[in-house]
Chains A and B, each alone.
Chain A
Amino acid sequence: MHISGRVWKYGDNVNTDVIFPGKYTYTVTDRTEIARHALEDLDPDFAKKVQPGDIIVAGRNWGCGSSREQAATCLVYNGVAAVIAESFGRIFYRNALNNGLLAIACPAAARAIQPGETVEIDLSRHVIRCGAGEFAFPPLSPTIMGIVAAGGLVPYVQRKLAAAAP
């Protein structure tokens, strides 16, 4: 499984409030509208210019803060293919994978990748290729790969429930 995309690069501690502001969490339910507010308070250009397949690269603790799942789904609805970071806020990490959004913690790659360049993620070999070279990341667990491959936690559990049904 290969993913290749153009990079948007951000810094440390990018929190859920700047990824998807709290004031919209209980009223904005439409996918297009959710997508439009992505990263609104950090980079107002992002939602206007992001292309399907793009990759976000960030520093430490990407997605710290709220449990709000739109911080992950607003990226999914914009077609973001993956987030590579030095580390992730733990609820964001779960929310991303649960919505089929690859979240890869790889500090060396996250530091080396330059904004605007194109990077490639090789999931079978667990490496990220960029201008600065190749960087290995730990393989995702079979459970997590299963969730991502199913397109997220809900379809994953739907299949499990269907398989268990008499």
Chain B
Amino acid sequence: MTDRFPGYDVLLKRNTLSWNEATRRAIDARLSVHPGPRFFSSDEWKTLRALCGRIIPQPADRPPVPIAAYIDEKMFANRVDGYRFAQMLPQGEAWKAALAALDAAARERRKLPFHELPPADQDVMISLMAENRLVGPLWRGMPSQLFFARRVLHDVVNAYYSHPTAWSEIGWGGPASPRGYVRLDADRRDPWEAVEAHPEEEQDRARAENRHVV
């Protein structure tokens, strides 16, 4: 994957006017999330971690975002979204049922637990789920496609993009209170915004400049 914003670290702004106390508190708590699992069983946990690893494959050269831990925490605290499609189970139950169903499907089709499948085979299983082709009593009436769209993608993607590492990766300014921004025109950057390394350019210049983005 291209590193568009080399060296940019949104956390460097933590002690600047871009972060207020409420933001620091919220992000500090996020960065010290309970490693889990408190909600999932150890079998479910293995499947969940493998699944998260395929929905958001993370590079080996940086500490991974603890996606599964965020999901475990959300289910443990029962923080709900405010709606549930009639055919879906309540979120925690839905996750438990679906992880068991996904794992059983892997064992049935590939003779291995889901988390031991090679990544390409895990992707095949995920695609089957996304296409509503995983069925059976373990799904407890939930369409697997709906579970994939409404729970897997929702919870995994929300977890990943709630982490400063993901913010730095996409060059987002991150928290911005009370300072906000001044330059609103196209191709104008405030000094506290990420520098993009244009593919044809040297990454080094951007990397050097991004060290001063605070």
Bound pair: A and B?
A: no
Chain B residues in the interface with A (C-beta under 8 A): none
A residues near B, CB below 8 A?
none
